[in-house]
Amino acid sequence: MPSALPGLARIGAEASTDSAQPWAVHVGALHGALARHDIARAIRAREAANRAAEESRSWEGALAVAEATLRLGDAQGARAEVSAEARRLCLAGLYRARARRSADGVLRAAEALAALGDEEVAEHGLRIAQALAVDGGADVGLTRSIREARQRIARAAPSLGGGAAP
């Protein structure tokens, strides 16, 4: 199943196989229900996933539920109606990742926010990810990913100043 949001495909795949996290079980149930076109069960699974992600306080959970929320909205033909909730979850994921000093988590949240059309907050997230990466001695791959995300977001929203590094 293709990712509903760029930057979250890996989290969605991990959620399908990671039964160690309660939210992941519910996200997997949502995907299964959608595959069977069982919207009522998918809605219940999303609600359970959201509760479990809130309780876990993990950025991965927040972003996985954001992805699942958009998938459910797409299945219902109601993506516009669920986008605000997905954005709220992505913001929660960004702040949780920042609190855990996860540059990768902040980067994924920023990319998801950009895909939802919130380029200004996404750019702010990229600045946070860059600072965390520098502070944490991140590998070249993560630094390159941050730079590439900044370029993609700047192309989508040129009014942000061309994506210059902080």
Higher pLDDT, 132 or 12: 132
Closest CA to 16 of 3, 87, 5: 3
69 occurs within a structural domain: yes
DSSP letters spanning 16-54:
HH-TTSHHHHHHHHHHHHHHTT-HHHHHHHHHHHHHHHH
User: Is 69:46 a contact under the CB 8 Å cutoff?
Assistant: yes
2 occurs within a structural domain: no
How far apart are the C-alpha atoms of 19 and 17, rounded to whole Å?
Answer: 6
Token pair of 151 as six digits: 């370029």
127 occurs within a structural domain: yes
Find the domain containing 122 and state its range: 9-158
CATH number, position 117:
1.25.40
Would you place residue 163 in the very low, low, confident or very high pLDDT band (cuts 50, 70, 90)?
very low
How far apart are the C-alpha atoms of 83 and 106, rounded to whole Å?
Answer: 19
What is the per-residue pLDDT for 119? 87
DSSP class of 124: H
Token pair of 140 as six digits: 């070249």
Residue 63 in this model has a pLDDT that exceeds 60: yes
Higher pLDDT, 143 or 159: 143
What is the per-residue pLDDT for 98? 96
3 occurs within a structural domain: no
Residue 71 in this model has a pLDDT that exceeds 60: yes
145 occurs within a structural domain: yes
Higher pLDDT, 151 or 34: 34
User: Is 135 in a helix, a strand, or coil?
Assistant: helix
Closest CA to 122 of 100, 152, 143: 152
Place of tokens 């995907």: 31
pLDDT in tens, 77-132: 999 999 999 999 999 999 999 999 999 999 999 999 998 999 899 999 999 998 88
Residue 8 in this model has a pLDDT that exceeds 50: yes
Burial of 42 (0-12, 13-18, 19+ CB in 10 A): buried
165 occurs within a structural domain: no
Indicate the average pLDDT of the chain.
Answer: 84
163 occurs within a structural domain: no
- Tell me how many domains the chain contains: 1
4 occurs within a structural domain: no
- Counting residues of the chain whose pLDDT is more than 70, the rounded percentage is 79
